[in-house]
Structure 1
Amino acid sequence: MQVPESQSLPSQPEWIVSVSPHVKSNETVAKIMWTVVACLMPPLLLSVFIFGIQTLVITAISVISCVVVEVVSQKALKRPVTISDGSAVLTGMLMAFIIPPGVSVFVPVLGAVMAIYIAKHLFGGIGFNIFNPALMGRAFLLATFPVAMTSAWLPPVEGMAIFSYFSGVDAVSTATPLAVIKEQGFAAFTEMFGSGGSLYGSFFLGWRPGCIGETSGFLLVLGGCFLIYKKYITWHTPVSVLGSIAVLTWIFGGEQGWMSGDPLLAMLSGGAILGAFFMATDYVTSPSTRTGQIVYGVGIGALTVLIRLKGGYPEGICYAILLMNPLATVIDGFFKPKRFALPVGGDK
């Protein structure tokens, strides 16, 4: 049937077909990265107050080095320069956060080369890296400068009066809590750091020796909760990481036998909270399914406790995350969501 030219066809809705993704959002990579950087600023400022200006110097050198290596790498590989997205700045901050505050200023420079050029751009750039770049930088530095990375600790000198108020002790060794427990046992740990509620309070607030940005559990949890509120991350990975560390330490980590370990101390010591909220949740190197994130987090927690209790190194969160990174895609494959689309050509 032909329609006369004088007659107009009734108006029909216009359908536009495009490729995925069909869900639009105002969130961008740059916005997410800079938000995470902002969440890390309070722990950095507290670290400067506790350990002194050296922490700010190391962090600044780490960030600047990562940005410079990012530009050089992208130009050398003939890729667009994308330092404005904040990913290199975030990598620099995270790497500085897991470095002892007393290291040489050249240490973060070498770490930046490993983190940005090798771990990130040689794998294809942002979105293609298999391993977390900041953790790869730390693992490289630990292998290259083992003495500095395990002994360049600073006591909380600037905040010693506050530390003494919360912990009840007048002085503190520069050794980290996990190192004291590993090498000398809980008795020596109690003598150096105290015990009871005051101990947990001082550790939660950050009055203890440790890496630059891992000491304040309170500020790290606060920043992590804000990221969950913004829906940049979900609770599944952080809770499963910390929960598995707590449960397994309680079962296997006590000197008095099974179920005599201190789960709260295990979560507050080392980089457990920093790793759980800000590194294990990395989009590229972690699962995207909710069940997969729980399995992934439990795996990280189990490996962390295994390394802490049986390994030669007192902390294990760094290597635990790196060991689980390549399994993220495999874990997601086991928990693929069911598809409800009808097959083509039929309704069965």
Structure 2
Amino acid sequence: MMPISSPHTIGQNSVSKVMMTVFAALIPGILCLIYYFSVGYAINLVLLLITTLTVEALVLWLRKRPIMFFLKDGSIIVTAALLAVALPPLAPWWLTVIAGAIAVLFGKHLFGGLGQNPFNPAMVAYAMVLISLPVFMTTRWADIDNPSGLFDSLTIIFGFAADQIDGFTGATPLDYYKLNIERLTSEEVYTSPLFENWGASGWTPVNIAFLLGGILLWYKKIITWHIPLSLLGALALMAVLFSTDADLKVPFTLHLLAGSTMLAAFFIATDPVSAATSNKGKLIFGAGIGILIYLIRTWGNYPDATAFAILLMNFAAPLIDHYTRPRVYGHKTAVKGFKK
């Protein structure tokens, strides 16, 4: 029997309930991706669910851990969903399977499993396949003018009649703008089908959908506002300060509403295991990601830099936590820094 002393409170949110809420909040964005671009995103999700659950069960068995207990927590489902929307929708099936296995093996269990991974598993897998297989990761994006249906997506992903396919689109709005603004004006760049009057074709409603899902997570108190607001604020400030001329740099609106910005701000950067934990630390952590996203997008080789920005700040999270400890009750100041 538990001894009665101080008031004991029992949280209403179990790990599985939190994870299922996160997965539900992802669904509007996933549906938008499928509608505007390709059923390949749904195929990615199915492949990753099968792969990650299988590899997770195998690793748990090898580690002599209770398999069903950990499978039911839902964390691997969220990892699969995040990776499914990060990978190109027409990536070959074997690349998707490899990425799923990397997420479980190297992103999660290499460090001890759930709650002990210093890096976001989905971003670890994404970064590794992007560096290892850059051609497949940059030339398998669906065409906004001709979204691929179920049959076309299956044909491309599984390699049926691959010799009859002339090629794949290789540009996202951020990629296209960055590559062409050096020789064209912004008005000429915006004549591409990748853009429309109010932003990036398809990508703007996708980002709005992820934004709404993120607001739901905040409303349900799954996440706090600190990381998303500081990330978006820092990214917007960098774009306003250094991208004032749209004829030279990617403009402010595309930084926020093209690519994976809202997905990163609300679903990936807010991972409670790999992010900073104190409120002040979360503000620094999110701002760091926003600044790095802008720097890598503008001067780096990768047009959408969210994975690398988040992984770099995951490195810094323990140090940020060490210097942003909150004040302990009964003490006048917080204990900060290294003490002898």
Give, in whole Å, the separation in 2 of the partners of 1:45 and 1:195.
20
User: Which of residues 217, 223, 228 is equivalent to 2:218?
Assistant: 228
Task: Give 1:334's aligned amino acid.
Answer: Y
Matching residue within 283, 291, 300 for 2:280: 291
**Contact preservation (8 Å) 2:297, 2:303:** yes
CA contact (8 A) 2:90 2:140 kept: yes
The residue type paired with residue 136 of structure 1 is: V
| 8 A contact 1:252–1:261 mirrored in 2 | no
1:117 aligns with 2:113: no
SS at match of 1:125: coil
Match of 1:179 in 2: 175
**Aligned equivalent of 2:31, options 34, 45, 52:** 45
Shift of 1:141: 1.0
Match of 2:72 in 1: 84
* Distance in structure 1 (CA, Å) of the matches to 2:78 and 2:194: 35
| Alpha-carbon distance in structure 2 between the residues aligned to 1:243 and 1:193 | 29
Residues 118-166 of structure 1 show CA distances to partners (whole Å, capped at 9, x for unaligned) of: 1101100000001100000101110221001011111124669xxxxxx
Matched, 1:149 2:145: no
Per-residue CA deviation, residues 73-122 of structure 1 (Å, 9 max, x unaligned), is: 11111122211111111101100110111110111110111111111011
Shift of 1:49: 2.1
Aligned counterparts of 2:119 and 2:41: Cα–Cα separation in 1:
26
Specify the code of the residue in structure 2 equivalent to 1:251: L
Deviation at 1:195, TM superposition (A): 6.7
Counterpart amino acid of residue 199 in structure 2: L
- Structure 1's 243 and 331: CA in aligned 2 closer, same or farther, altered over 3 A? same
Give 1 or 2 for the bigger CA radius of gyration. Answer: 1
Q: Deviations over 1:199-219 (max 9, x none)?
A: 3685421xxxxxxxxxx0121
| Structure 1 counterpart of 2:155 | none
Distance (Å, rounded) in 1 between the aligned partners of 2:300 and 2:218: 33
1:311 aligned partner: 300
- Provide the residue aligned with 1:266 in structure 2: 255
Find the partner of 2:120 among 113, 123, 132.
Answer: 132
Q: TM-score, normalised by structure 2?
A: 0.83
1:300 aligns with 2:286: no
Distance in 1 of aligned mates of 2:37 and 2:49: 19
| 1:199 paired to 2:188 | no
The equivalent residue for 1:70 is: 56
Task: Describe the SS at the equivalent of 1:270.
Answer: coil
The structural deviation recorded for 1:281 is 0.1
What percentage of aligned pairs have identical amino acids? 34
Q: What letter matches 1:52 in structure 2?
A: S
Identify if the C-alpha distance between structure 1 residues 277 and 109 changes in structure 2 by more than 3 Å, giving closer, same or farther: same
1:219 aligns with 2:219: no
Q: Deviations over 1:213-244 (max 9, x none)?
A: xxx01210111000000111011101111111
Tell me the distance in 1 between the aligned counterparts of 2:21 and 2:81. 13
Higher relative contact order (CA 8 A, sep 6+): 2
Question: 2:103, 2:122 within 8 Å by CA — same for their partners in 1?
Answer: yes
Match of 1:170 in 2: none
Q: State the TM-score, normalized to the length of structure 1.
A: 0.81
Report the Cα distance in structure 1 between the residues aligned to 2:202 and 2:46, rounded to whole angstroms. Answer: 27
Checking the alignment, whether the CA contact within 8 Å between 2:39 and 2:89 is kept in structure 1 is no
Unmatched tracts of structure 1, length 5 or more: 1-13, 161-172, 206-215, 344-348
CA separation in 1, counterparts of 2:108 and 2:5? 35
Quote the offset at 1:184 in angstroms. 1.0
Structure 1 pair 98/196, CA: closer, same or farther in 2 (3 Å)? closer
CA distance in 2, matches of 1:257, 1:197: 17
- Distance change >3 Å, CA 311–CA 342, structure 1 → 2: closer
Deviation at 1:197, TM superposition (A): 4.7
Corresponding residue pairs, total: 305
User: Does the CA-based 8 Å contact 1:228-1:235 persist in structure 2?
Assistant: yes
Matches of 1:294 and 1:256, distance apart in 2: 29
Secondary structure of the equivalent of 1:119? coil
Distance of aligned partners of 1:133 and 1:188 in 2 relative to their CA distance in 1, 3 Å threshold: farther
Give me the CA root mean square deviation: 2.5
Q: What is the distance in 1 between the residues matched to 2:198 and 2:257?
A: 13
